Amino acid sequence: MEQHRTRPAQHGPRRDTAPGPPQQPKPSRSPKPPLPPQAGRAAGGGVARSARPARPAGAPQRRPVPPPAARRLPNPRLTGLGGGLFCGLLMLALGLLTEALFGGSQTVYGVLFLPVCVLTAVWLREGDLLTAPIVVPIAFALGLTPIADDGLMGLVTGLATQAGWLYGGTLVAGLIVIVRRVRRVRMVNRRAARNRPARG
C-alpha cells in the first residue's frame, strides 16, 4: 500500500503570498494636558449637579438662622397682679438707688419713673391692660417712701411736689394702653371680616 507523505509544517511566511508594503507606525497622540480645577468644575458642572442626591419630598427644609441683630427682644406678658408687683418692686429699688447715689433727688426719681411706666404698659397682657393706669401711681408712692423725710408727712409733701412726674407717667401708660386696645379691636374686626361668608 502506498503511504501518503505528510509535508512538514512550514513556519514563517508562505511563498505563494506576496509581501505587502511595510506598515508604517501610527503617530501616537499626545495626552491632553490636565484641566485646571476651575475649568474642570465648569466642564463637569452638569455631571456634578446630577450626581447630587435629590432631597426627598417629605424632608423638612432648613430655614436660615436670623442674625442676632434681627432677633426680637423679650416680650413678656404680665397679668394685672404681676404688672403691679413688677412696677412696685422696681420703683422701690429705684427709690433706694436714688437715695444711695443721688442723695434722694426726687427729680432723678421722677425721670426714672417714666420708663418704668412704659415697660409696665407694654408688658401687660391684653386682658389686663386697664390695670396699668392704676398700678403705676401706687408704685410711684411706694418707691417715694425711702426718699421722703419725716414719715407720712414727707411722703404727702413729695407726692404734692412731684405731681407732674406722677401725672406724666400715668398719662404715658394710659396712652400706650389706648393704642394697644385700638390695635387689638381692629385686628379682631379684620379677622371677623375675613371669616364672614360672602353673600351671593
pLDDT for res 47: 45
Averaged over 158-182, what is the pLDDT?
94
Q: What mean pLDDT, rounded, does the chain reach?
A: 76
Residue 77 pLDDT: 86
Q: What is the pLDDT of residue 99?
A: 93
Q: What is the pLDDT of residues 39-61, one digit of tens each?
A: 444 444 444 444 455 555 555 56
Q: What pLDDT sits at residue 111? A: 95
Q: Give the pLDDT confidence of 58-108 residue by residue, as tens digits.
A: 555 666 555 554 455 456 789 999 999 999 999 999 999 999 999 889 999
CA-based nearest residue to 161, from 105, 120, 94, 93 = 105
Residue 52: its pLDDT value, please? 53
Res. 131: pLDDT tops 50: yes
Calpha distance 24→162 (Å, rounded): 115
Rounded to an integer, what distance in angstroms lies between the CA atom of residue 6 and that of residue 134? 134
105 with 161: CB under 8 angstroms?
no
pTM (2 d.p.): 0.60
In degrees and rounded to multiples of 5, residue 14 shows phi and psi of: -70, 155
- Of residues 11 and 171, more confidently modeled: 171
Q: 90: which 3 cell numbers?
A: 422696681
Q: What is the pLDDT of residue 49?
A: 47
